[in-house]
Amino acid sequence: MAKKVRKAIIPAAGFGTRFLPATKAQPKEMLPLVDKPIIQYVVEDAVSAGIEDIIIVTGWHKRSIEDHFDYPYELEKRLEESGKKEEIQKIRDIANMANFYYVRQKGPQGNLTPIWNAKELIDGEPFLVLWGDDFIQATPTRSQQLVQAYEQYGGHVIVSSLRKSAPEDYNRYGYAGGKEVEPGMLKINEIIEKPGPGKINSDYAVVSGYLFDPVFFEAAEEVMTRSKRDNIKRELHYIDAINVLLEQNKACYALEIKNGKFYDCGNKLEYLKAVVEFGLQHDDLRKEFSEYLAVLQTQLQHEQKSAKEILRVR
């Protein structure tokens, strides 16, 4: 019987250079989707699946993440004096969602490093890894689906996937190939980071969430040993560790997240799209915001029509 999944690692130590200068003094994970920072959506997703311990891997410039999930006593006092009971409860709920732990990232470059840094806090248990600047919105939630699949299939790795087959997607995502054990559940025999079109016969794009059992850390250590031995200079990725497990014939799966929509908020255009979509989900904003977007659409169509008429006259 699979152990209960109680822990999640959220890597959040990156510099967010694509969002400079906004991220010069503010973590990209704290950029808001209307009135809630991106990383709070990630934490809520984890908590929905019964996660009790959230381990956030940070850097020197990420203190505001710790502050966000802490108790702000001064703010509570001010809200209390203003009679804002609903707002007080909202900020208290944030701190009470889970037990929060923070680890400073150190080690080689690449997304394997923050996972490795949290090894001692995992203490031999299965765990989720969720990035701090992207997430999948789904029902049931992404984390619930990953945990349910682990309870059913076991295995050493389950990666969340969406089915994507546009040529440009193969330059954007990692891909898993293998044989389906049932629709939407792939037993992996190969996994490649951004393979490019035609390099893998699969449409299982690996995005935004993973469930590992503790043997993953043994594979991660092997990756680091090989890197030092062979004087490898490139970044070390979690996919490298999965490939070690595949070499050892360990059971690894890719799970298609049902009813899932991926929000890559580390990308400026995709972040702007997410802000619009989440703005339209707010009952208190939807009507006026929709009307505003309709006005913008009309203005854009008018400008495009005028530009075409100018070109026609010329």
Block residue for tokens 């990630």 = 42
Distance between CA atoms of residues 266 and 271, nearest Å: 7
Block residue for tokens 């690894």 = 252
- Interacting residues of 199 by C-beta distance below 8 A, sequence separation 6+: 170, 192
Per 3-state DSSP, the chain is made up of helix, strand and coil in percentages (nearest 5) of: 45, 20, 35
Distance between CA atoms of residues 179 and 155, nearest Å: 15
Distance between CA atoms of residues 270 and 61, nearest Å: 24
166-193 exposure pattern, b = at least 16 Cβ within 10 A, e = fewer: eeebbeebbbbbbeeeeebbbbbeebbe
Q: pLDDT tens digit string along 132-166?
A: 999 999 999 999 999 999 999 988 999 999 999 99
pLDDT computed for residue 314 by the predictor: 60
Report, as ranges of residue numbers, the positions in the chain whose pLDDT lies below 70.
Answer: 1-2, 308, 311-314
pLDDT computed for residue 32 by the predictor: 95
Block residue for tokens 């694509």 = 18
Structural contact between residues 48 and 143, judged by C-beta atoms closer than 8 angstroms = yes
Indicate the pTM of the whole model. 0.92
